[in-house]
A = this chain, B = another copy of it.
Amino acid sequence: MADPQTRFEDLMSKLRERQCRMTPQRVALLRLLASGTDHPSASHLYDQLKTQFHTTSLATVYKTLSLLDDMGEVLELGFSHGVVRYDANKPYPHPHLVCIRCHKIVDCECRTAACLAEQAAKQLGFQVVSHRLDFYGLCADCQNTG
């Protein structure tokens, strides 16, 4: 996980370079995204924002996420059943552990994934620019609770 404060300042300066305006809502959202404590969904982010701003909207969350996506500063993780989760703390491809019970998503250090990509794709003449590796199963907590 990247350091939340460093990543927050990184996002701030990248948006400023783009002449984006730093509204309080946007700053709060960036701070949430940079924290890296979770891989939140859009509505989860909205719920957290609502505790700070009594008036705010899901549309604003989506607009900022889409802006960051265009800039390549957020990883959009689409799953089955229409579930989408975001990772703006570490926006480059990396393996994830996805708990099938509590739906927690944890980063997983795993050096060999990237070179596996190159190796596997070369066989089919495929030019790899990105990859995605998810492990599904039960996290330690969920294994211990029947």
Contacts and interface: CB of A to CB of B under 8 A. Distances in A.
Nearest to A130: B136
A129 B137 contact: yes
A107 to B, nearest CB: 9
Range, interface on chain A: 35 or more
Contacts of A76: 80-81
A95 B80 contact: no
A51 interface: no
A108 interface: yes
Nearest to A79: B78
Interface in A30-85: 76-84
A79 B77 CA distance: 7
Interface in A115-146: 116-117, 120-121, 123-140, 143
Contacts of A121: 97, 108, 135, 137
